[in-house]
Amino acid sequence: MGTGDDLWTAYKLRWRRRRLLARSLRKRRQITCRVDRTDLIAPGAILAFATVRNEGLRLPHFFDHHRTLGVDHFLVVDNASDDGSADWLAAQPDVSLWSTPDSYKRSRFGIDWLTVLMRRYGHGHWCLTLDADELFVYAHHTTRTLKALTDWLSWQGRDSMGALMLDLYPRGALGEAKHHPHQDPVDTLPYFDAGNYVITRQAKLQNLWIQGGVRARCFFAPEPRRAPTLSKVPLIRWHRSYAYVTSTHSALPRRLNHVYDTNGGEAPSGVLLHTKFLPNIISKSSEEKTRRQHFENSDLYQGYYDALIGDPVLWCEQSTRYQGWQQLEGLGLMSRGGWA
């Protein structure tokens, strides 16, 4: 039996979830279907959802990677791309595409738009919600598909799986790297920070809050609590009554955020290889500094964009070269959680 405070919090969070769902319903007219292939979605299909803008440099490998993992269908909202991304997406046989010119920030960074699609098409499916600069990896991902993983999660009684967003970067200045659309971004960005992560548990939503990595080290060292949040819950067996709260950092009902073990064991977790620092980050940062669409309080992040525009070197003597999921597990950045 919960305490009075616990019951009151749970009651308020139920209403918050209803408000988020109602908000997404109001946003449904902002997205227009360009290509509808949702009739191809079979029962039990694994779905991926994403909002993109001008991601032509990443999309081919992003799709190759997640198709190899076993994603059956991609549902994508294109937010006014002008680099050919929308045409490329429309030509993919396993993509249903929507478009919108509306504000990414005022749609809760695309989550309102994706909630519309997840309520309609994701109900009952395992859904992977990603940004185009994220590559999902997990224990045995090179030999076992997402279908095998989600079957095991279901057998374990789990409806969600968490992941650490791991920033990757090159050895030299960001703008010096060379990258083409079909190239694996890990080849271009082979380094990451293996330590300096701080983990707290948020009492209200019962989610993990992880900060650190290269962005905390290079851009937020004087105020590390301002550094971006690195913990996400990208993989959920969706129900139309669910809602993400802030990007994919937390969800409601809050039991979906219980992606950790409180009894001394380890829950299964993955890693989102974050390819933000490809060489086009310099021009993108200049654009986003003007657009002011990527942070709740954009004024706090002007110095961050200025630093990126300055073409910094993020590598240091303590940087670690990426070698695969076994390495990440050995470093404690992910866990197979009993999935032998």
Amino acid at residue number 62: F
Over residues 22-35, the pLDDT tens digits come to: 999 999 999 999 99
Over residues 117-128, the pLDDT tens digits come to: 999 999 999 999
DSSP 113-136: HHHHHIIIIITTSEEEEE-TTEEE
Domain, as residue range, for 278: 4-330
Task: Please state, for a pLDDT cut of 90, what percent of the chain lies above it.
Answer: 84
- Residue 230 pLDDT greater than 80, yes or no: yes
DSSP 289-300: HHH--S-TTGGG
H-helix segments, the chain: 4-27, 59-69, 85-90, 111-117, 146-155, 185-188, 213-219, 281-291, 302-309, 325-330
Rounded to 10°, the helix 281-291/302-309 angle is 150
Residue 285 has a pLDDT of 81
Determine how many CB atoms are found less than 10 A away from the CB of residue 76.
27
**Mean pLDDT score across all residues of the chain:** 93
Domains contained in the chain, number = 1
In a domain, 337, yes or no: no
Beta-sheet pairing, 320-321 with 191-192 = antiparallel
Mean pLDDT value across residues 1-21: 87
In a domain, 338, yes or no: no
| Residue 170 preceded by cis peptide, ω within 30 | no
In a domain, 274, yes or no: yes
The lowest-confidence range among 29-38, 158-167, 276-285, 288-297 is: 288-297
In a domain, 144, yes or no: yes
What distance separates the 2 farthest-apart alpha carbons in the chain?
59
CA nearest to 162, candidates 241, 230, 81, 60 = 230
- Residue 295 pLDDT greater than 60, yes or no: no
- Residue 293 pLDDT greater than 60, yes or no: no
Predicted structure pTM score: 0.95
Match 């769902």 to its residue by tokens: 21
